[in-house]
């Protein structure tokens, strides 16, 4: 996998508590949703050991945005891919934590996945508003 192609790195917890809550199904659904969206080459998906949020799993983390999702179900995955990865608008109701503040100079998201390029112009403003809104509302703190 060429590093230059990677736009997102997604961590999915595969430890016991998250698996008991459907973590395996979430990982499978994520692979399927990325395939369906044509994003597999632009997203590095890593199954990881405990992310220390065991009671709030299944836990999924999306970088470079630093958005931590909790209580993710297989049904939520398509929405995370479509809204967050393709439009830059995190799914607020599932956000556990936002790792960093976005600065004024920083664009809404570094780059969209190329298969979503046609949507980028019209949706980047939405994504920017959405992420800024989450920070403003203190979601995930
Ligand atoms: S088991 Fe998933 S966060 Fe600990």
CATH of the domain at 102: 3.40.30.10
The first and second tokens of residue 54, run together, are 């065991």
Query: Which stretch of 17-31, 43-57, 68-82, 119-133 has the lowest confidence by average pLDDT?
Result: 119-133
pLDDT of residue 123: 47
- 106 vs 16 pLDDT, higher one: 16
DSSP letters, 47-88, are EES--S-GGG-S-EEEETTTEEE-S--HHHHHHIIIIIIHHS
Q: What percent of the chain has pLDDT over 90?
A: 67
Averaged over 109-137, what is the pLDDT?
55
Q: How many domains does the chain have?
A: 1
Mutate to test the pocket of ligand 1, among 14, 25, 50, 68 (most ligand atoms within 8 A of CB): 50
- For residue 15 and ligand 1, the question of a CB distance below 6 A is answered with yes
Residue 79 has pLDDT above 60, yes or no: yes
Q: Which atom of ligand 1 is nearest to the CA of 58?
A: 2
Q: What is the pTM of this model?
A: 0.79
| 11 touches ligand 1 (CB under 6 Å) | no
What distance in Å separates the CA atoms of residue 69 and residue 60, rounded to the nearest whole number? 5
Q: Which of 56-60, 67-71, 108-112 has the lowest mean pLDDT?
A: 108-112
Q: Tell whether ligand 1 has an atom less than 6 A from the beta carbon of residue 17.
A: yes
Average pLDDT over residues 42-58: 97
CB distance 131 to 92 below 8 Å: no
Range of the domain at 31: 3-137
Higher pLDDT pick, 48 / 115: 48
Q: Is the pLDDT of residue 94 over 60?
A: yes
**100 falls in which pLDDT band (50, 70, 90)?**
confident
Q: Is the CB of 59 under 6 A from ligand 1?
A: yes
């Amino acid at each position: 996998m060429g590093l230059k192609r990677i736009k997102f790195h997604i961590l999915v917890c595969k430890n016991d508590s998250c698996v008991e809550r459907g973590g395996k199904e979430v990982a499978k659904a994520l692979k399927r949703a990325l395939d369906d969206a044509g994003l597999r080459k632009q997203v590095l998906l890593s199954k990881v050991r405990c992310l220390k949020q065991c009671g709030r799993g299944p836990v999924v983390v999306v970088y470079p945005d630093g958005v931590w999702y909790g209580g993710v179900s297989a049904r939520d995955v398509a929405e995370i891919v479509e809204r967050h990865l393709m439009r830059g608008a995190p799914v607020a109701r599932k956000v556990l934590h936002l790792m960093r503040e976005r600065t004024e100079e920083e664009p809404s998201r570094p780059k969209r996945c190329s298969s979503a390029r046609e949507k980028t112009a019209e949706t980047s403003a939405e994504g920017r508003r959405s992420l800024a809104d989450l920070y403003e509302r203190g979601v995930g703190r």
